Amino acid sequence: MLDAGRATGAEFAEVFVEDKRSTSAGLDDGRVEQVTSGRTRGAGIRVVAGETTGFAYTSDLSERGLVAAAQAAAAAARQGGGGVRAVALGPLVQHPVNDVRIDPREVAKIRKVELLQRADEAARAVDGAVVQVSAGYGDSVRQILVANSDGVLAADRQVRTLFRISVVANGDLGMQTGYESLGHTIGFEVFDDADVAELAERAARQALVKLKARPAPSGTLPVVIRQGTGGVLFHEACGHGLEADLVAKGASVYRGKVGELVASPLVTLIDDGSMGGEWGAIGIDDEGHPSQRNVLIQDGVLTDYMWDYLRARREGRAQSGNGRRESYADLPMVRMTNTFVTNGADDPDDIVRATDHGVYVAKLGGGQVDTASGDFVFGMVEAYLIEDGRITEPLREGNLIGNGPQVLRDIDMLGNDFAMGNPGTCGKDGQGVPVGDGQPTLRVKALTVGGTAA
């Protein structure tokens, strides 16, 4: 296939093969609504000639189907030329980052459904104000094989198991929601250590607390963000700006700033696909490069970007293991894996005590960011008022509004309680891939809170 891809004179060809099996189950309002299984199987062939990339994909894995796809990709990359250069592939390389003890495909579906029912019962038992519960279970086993004309031959087996629950409580102020989830790149053994009933109770209490919440303040205030929950802010407001393709397009505020101080000296930002068990963990990226730990910001100084094959090739530098794709039908692009801020030296309680008046964010929601400027808006799913160095009243949902680079510079206290957050799916150019993020408890000395209080 690689020979066919380079038959018109292209300098690089790649074959990516994927076989993914998945199962999901959902419960809503006490009823199991669906239990589904699926399989995705096919190959994508990429051919690069100069600055032009040709790509074709097929679900026909016969030799005839693959050759047709390779020829189509080659024709798209370059017309004319000729000649074939044989490719000597190296030995098959694998870099497993997880030890899966219980393959979820070997677990009966009734056991997966029972998890949903147990969570539903636990959430409703917390309080009579709980009026609705929805829960979901999912698992997948993804096997990939990558070969290219540079001689790479690599494979990976990625197992993921996910559970989520959403709870609605009704009170005098209307309905409020709580949400919790867990997800790891291991098998069904994740439920040996994680109790779905406890997860459901936390989601229920989150909704119940907000029934008594007061309007969030508005204005610029110190904001303390609890361990784990703020990682999504760094993923969205900073991480995307450190992806080499966006940098090359001029769509990143961090373009041309390697070696400069771009954050508080307290901040070290890492992207690490080799973190065993975490949601963004991969043995190899979708271009066959081993996952690795990449230091993006060290003590406030921008040290590097994240790279895929094409961007690294153009710059004459090494890949970083960040070439990822949603499926065989997609081209790879620069993507994050597990992105996080490392530990600081402050006690989390001391961070709160040092804040006279501010907001404590216990759970941060989704948001929007402009990577070219770094401006963002994120929702506060669970937040509290800080008064005289103490966490006091719960607040209704509001927004955090700011600028990613400015937030990095305004972090003035960093805790020693690092934790990863909930599993996430990162969307970019229409593709979604699993990612993780995390951080210790931290304080941003000045951040705009978009509440409704006068």
Q: Please state the length of the chain.
A: 454
User: What confidence score (pLDDT) does residue 368 get?
Assistant: 84
What is the enclosing helix (H) or strand (E) of 50?
A: none
Q: Determine the Cα angle at 380 with ends 375 and 384, to 5°.
A: 130
For 64, residues 6+ apart whose C-beta sits below 8 A from its C-beta are none
User: What confidence score (pLDDT) does residue 87 get?
Assistant: 52
Backbone angles phi, psi at 255, to 5 degrees: -65, 130
The domain limits of the chain are 2-210, 218-450
For 169, residues 6+ apart whose C-beta sits below 8 A from its C-beta are 127, 129, 130, 131, 175, 176, 177, 178, 204, 207, 208, 210, 211
For 256, residues 6+ apart whose C-beta sits below 8 A from its C-beta are none
pLDDT digits (tens, 9 = 90+) for 186-196: 999 999 999 99
Q: Is the pLDDT of residue 81 over 70?
A: no
Confirm or reject CATH 3.40.50.720 for domain 2-210, answering yes or no. Answer: no
pTM of the model: 0.93
List strand residue ranges (DSSP E) for 252-389, in order: 269-272, 293-298, 301-302, 323-324, 333-334, 338-341, 357-369, 375-387
pLDDT digits (tens, 9 = 90+) for 352-388: 999 999 999 999 988 888 888 889 999 999 999 999 9
